Amino acid sequence: MSRERSDTHFGFRTVPLADKQAMVDDVFHKVARRYDLMNDLMSGGLHRVWKDALVSKLRPPKSARAFHLLDLAGGTGDVSFRVIEAAGKGAWATVADINADMLAVGRERAEKRGLADKAEFVEANAETLSFPDKSFDAATIAFGIRNVPRIELALAEIYRVLKPGGHFLCLEFSPEQMPGLDALYELYSFRVIPEIGKLVAGDAEPYRYLVESIRRFPAPEAFAGMMRQAGFERVSFTPMTGGIVALHFGWRL
């Protein structure tokens, strides 16, 4: 993706690159309080299985050894809480999200789960992170990278803030599914999900965008190439559920 490019695709519309972040912010402002319900509806509850697979792949230490996680676009804390609960006493999470409404939900949930002393919630842009170089033992982003206007900048920033030996894991919907499943998935995504969104949230447009944005995201092999360009090594990915989702991973060595 070229930095000089002046426009980008928002769903199936082409809009100025400078406007995309504001449009994404508006989408997540509308769905923040219903985000988990939204994920359940869009994935049939499978997002919970996929996130558990991410944590298993991450393998956070179960000892008291210090382990600092950066969870990008993780405002509600869903992934961070899973990692903290799977890890030992030394685990700590920085939840970074550009959307203040999502972060507010995450802070409330951390308090309710007794994890407020194990996680901090920071408003941050993935393209220009304020964290020092080599700050984190691992970084994750689940279903958020496709909403970043300039993905290559975010990948470079993730690489920068990871310690040598740090692991990056990215969970994202894939535009490629196995033959036979693709047509059914397309029908469900574009016909059913927006209607469910309209019934549950009173607005189909945020759900329509979230579905359309999947089709604009690079195919798994292309995204793996972007990770390699950012400097990550031992890059690979695992398709899940017939290719609906891919778990990408790489290391800063």
Residue 199 or residue 53, greater confidence: 53
Q: Which domains does the chain have, with CATH numbers?
A: 24-252 (3.40.50.150)
Which candidate, 215, 244, 248, 246, places its Cα nearest to that of 42? Answer: 244
Residue 3 or residue 235, greater confidence: 235
Residues 204-252 have pLDDT tens digits of 776 777 777 777 889 999 999 999 999 999 999 999 998 889 999 999 9
Does residue 121 sit in helix, strand or coil?
strand
Question: Helices marked H in the chain — which ranges?
Answer: 17-31, 35-43, 46-58, 78-86, 100-112, 151-161, 181-187, 193-201, 205-216, 220-229
Of all helices (H) and strands (E), which one includes residue 34?
A: none
Which candidate, 51, 86, 48, 91, places its Cα nearest to that of 67? Answer: 91
The single residue listed with the structure tokens 């397309």 is: 186
Beta-carbon count within 10 A of 83 CB: 24
Going by the DSSP 8-state scheme, the letter that residue 100 receives in this structure is H
**What does pTM read for this prediction?**
0.83
pLDDT of the residue at 218:
92
Q: What is the mean pLDDT of residues 179-200?
A: 73
Q: What are residue 100's phi and psi, to 5 degrees? A: -65, -30
Q: What are residue 99's phi and psi, to 5 degrees? A: -105, 115
Token digits of residue 76: 């509600």
pLDDT of the residue at 11:
42
- C-alpha torsion 48→49→54→60, nearest 10: 80
Amino acid found at 233: E
